[in-house]
Structure 1
Amino acid sequence: MKVSFIGLGVMGFPMAGHLQQHGFDVCVYNRTSAKANAWQARFKGRVGTTPAAAAKGADIVFVCVGNDDDVRQVVYGNDGILSALVAGAVLVDHTTASAELAKELAGRCAAQQVDFLDAPVSGGQAGAENGQLTIMVGGEQAVFNKVKPVMDAYARHSQRIGGCGSGQLAKMMNQICIAGIVQGLAEALHFGQQAGLDCATVIEVISKGAAQSWQMENRATTMLNGEYEFGFAVDWMRKDLAIALAEARRNGSTLALTALVDQYYADVQKSGGGRWDTSSLLTRLTR
């Protein structure tokens, strides 16, 4: 099966590599050609000079770029992905983007008899590198069934949520949960430090009970050590939360805590932590 991968950032680079290593014929494209050449040197796949060139002849094209506008730039136009796809091909967008964009893309693809899935991922850079991502998918069941065995190259779990756009909505829920959990963990660690407790010992205990979370298991120690130069960047989280908050305004839901934590992340950005891991919320309380 011929597949293409558009976007070789910290997520896309290893994801495309897993596809190549699992025996797929992969052609990649990246806006910065040096990164595409580095990928080819490591994984021995093919490189396209434009999104269209990379997508030509592909059965499935995966996209993982920055935001809605970035997706439109690689999908539309004379050099865009859609200009090269034939009927029966599938476009899969792994970008964390808006549900409105997913519906827009689904319509444009349908006009060309191309199938579409919105499929944002969770698991961060480590999940991508280890092939352990979780994928939330919106689209038709039959299309998901066709693509799932391919995505299994870099996923530990992928699941169809519903129609087009539902994958992006599920990812918004994911980020809403993370924002609240990380803030709670930051406040708990700050409270324990102010109380004079050995927080590492406390975390060892409470992580075995109802307070346990992925964030506690994977970030509490680094937070206590003041280590933030890794992981999912605050800048990216604010982009994701902005999407969720905009959707909330459309559907009438109330995201008071999410809006508050988003402003806390703005404080971290102002202090120079835009590229720090999202667990850097603790720095607001300890500086």
Structure 2
Amino acid sequence: MNTTTTTSSIHPRSYEPTPPRQLAFIGLGVMGHPMAGHLAAAGHTVTVYNRTAAKAQQWAAEFAACGASVRHAATPREAAQGADIVLGCVGNDDDLRQVTLGEQGAFAGMKAGAIYVDHTTASADVARELDFHATELGLHFLDAPVSGGQAGAQNGQLTVMCGGQQTVFDAVAPVVAAFARAFTLMGPVGAGQLTKMVNQICIAGVVQGLSEAIAFAQNAGLDIPTVVSVISKGAAQSWQMENRALTMARSEFGFGFAVDWMRKDLGLVLEESRRNGSAVPVTALVDQFYGEVQQLGGNRWDTSSLIQRLPRK
């Protein structure tokens, strides 16, 4: 197929030659839709499942029109049948259990030796729980949460932090390369989720600092584009500054990773910090600030909307 075909959800990129595999993808939200699309564009056969069936049907129609080998399934079990690798990206621990376990879950349909790769940001505990169930069934499991946001998914430039066995990781790496710029094994199952928690701790502090800085600059009467241009060339530079500072100043918050999702992630951090004895006072405070944003009606605003709770001229 033509791998440079533009669709509504993925941006054109080139793909390293990889033997085509039989894949399934479960969960077609703002991240899963383009991630599954890159797999199809890379030449793999992809069966998709989504809780809202119309989304799976639309995805399959979109990529079939581009010449890809795709179909949609009515259940996770049906989607997983015959697949070498099943990938998923759903909402939380409960969603993950729902699509993997039980009579209609993916594990029930997977063949012996198949691999489930979970891209959900979830708890380390549920990763270990599902690894246990997978092993009992003769399957393999990797926890592999992602960072890079909606733009990273669309551009095929996600960073993936993984927990699991080296041999399983090695088998999956050429496939995940379709949507990832970095795919790194962090340790045993659960280590991927713990690394994603580290990632979210960093983001929470940076976004709050950037919010205060932009609000301060506006109240001081400074020209925001000039300020950002200057300080982004020094020690204050960050991805958030490069990609969100100017939109924050314009109160534009439609960039994919919603406040509701960030609060879910920070809840995982706070729970894990209590378990391992870590002090995360700034993270706990920023979590409260996101609660204030929710009270402003910003549940679906992106995470840079922290600035909305600050007074600005």
> Shorter-normalised TM-score: what interval?
over 0.9
- Which of the numbers 51, 57, 79 marks the counterpart of 2:82? 57
- 1:101 correspondence with 2:121: no
Pick the aligned partner of 2:51 from 12, 24, 31: 31
CA distance in 2, matches of 1:34, 1:231: 20
Q: Determine if the alignment matches structure 1 residue 262 to structure 2 residue 287.
A: yes
Please tell me the residue identity of whatever aligns with 2:162. V
How many residues in Structure 1 have an aligned counterpart in Structure 2? 287
Q: 1:39-118, aligned counterparts within 5 Å?
A: 39-44=59-64, 45-118=70-143
Shift of 1:197: 1.6
Relative to its length, the structure with more helix (as a share) is: 1
Aligned mate of 1:9, from 15, 29, 37: 29
Q: Which moved more, 1:275-284 or 1:225-234?
A: 225-234
Distance 2:251 2:74 in 1: 42
Give 3-state SS (helix, strand or coil) of 1:88's partner: coil
Per-residue CA shift, 1:7-65, capped at 9, x if unaligned? 01111011111111111111000011100010011112111111000000110000100
Superposed structure 1 runs of 4+ greater than 2 Å apart: none
Aligned 8 A contact 1:86 1:112 in 2: no
Q: Which amino acid aligns with 2:164?
A: G
Q: Secondary structure at the match of 2:120?
A: coil
For residue 58 of structure 1, give the secondary structure of its aligned residue in structure 2. Answer: coil
Q: What is the CA-CA distance between 1:261 and the residue it aligns to?
A: 0.2
Matches within 5 A, 1:1-287: 1-44=21-64, 45-286=70-311
Matches of 2:40 and 2:308, distance apart in 1:
40
Hey, what's the Cα distance between the residues in 1 that align with 2:285 and 2:124? 23
RMSD: 0.8
Q: In structure 2, list runs of 5 or more residues that go unmatched.
A: 1-20, 65-69
What TM-score results when the alignment is normalised by the length of structure 1? 0.99
1:183 is paired with a residue whose SS is helix
Task: Output the CA distance in 2 between the equivalents of 1:20 and 1:149.
Answer: 14
Greater Cα shift, 190-199 or 159-168:
190-199
Distance in 1 between residues matched to 2:164 and 2:249, nearest whole Å: 42
SS state at 1:107 partner: helix
> What is the CA distance between 1:196 and its match in structure 2?
2.0
Q: Is the 8 A contact 2:224 2:246 kept in 1?
A: no
> 1:229 Cα shift?
2.3
Please tell me whether the aligned partners of residues 150 and 255 of structure 2 are also in contact (alpha carbons under 8 angstroms).
no
2:44 alignment partner AA: F
SS, match of residue 286 in structure 1 = coil
> Retained in 1: the 8 A contact 2:121–2:145?
yes
Shift of 1:112: 1.2
Deviation at 1:231, TM superposition (A): 2.7
